[in-house]
């Protein structure tokens, strides 16, 4: 069964939940007793890395700089 958390709790503990999702946990986010959305890990079979800009520059590439070079 998925873990159920409220939106305020997610906002206050985003890093903690992000780590749990990376480990495979899923969460249903509620606000005022109504479900808003579900957070699930990315399925590696459906996600294809095209390029990792952090390999070029540690902090990544600024979008404006990238668009200028295209």
21/62: higher pLDDT: 21
CATH of residue 17's domain is: 3.40.1620
Q: Is residue 15 part of a domain?
A: yes
Q: What is the pLDDT of residue 11?
A: 95
Q: Is residue 16 part of a domain?
A: yes
User: DSSP letter at 29?
Assistant: E
29/60: higher pLDDT: 29
Q: How many domains does the chain have?
A: 1
Question: Residue 7 is part of which domain span?
Answer: 1-43
Q: Is residue 50 part of a domain?
A: no
- Residue 4 CA to residue 25 CA, distance in Å, equals 11
Q: What is the pLDDT of residue 7?
A: 95
Q: Is residue 25 part of a domain?
A: yes
Q: What is the pLDDT of residue 25?
A: 94
Q: List, for residues 3-50, the tens digit of each pLDDT value.
A: 999 999 999 999 999 999 999 999 999 999 999 999 999 876 776 777
Q: Is residue 61 part of a domain?
A: no
């Amino acid at each position: 069964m998925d873990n159920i958390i409220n939106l305020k709790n997610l906002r206050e503990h985003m890093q903690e939940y992000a780590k749990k999702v990376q480990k495979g946990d899923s969460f249903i986010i509620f606000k005022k007793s109504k479900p808003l959305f579900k957070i699930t890990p990315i399925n590696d079979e459906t996600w294809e890395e095209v390029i990792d800009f952090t390999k070029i520059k540690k902090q990544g590439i600024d979008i404006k700089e990238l668009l200028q070079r295209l």
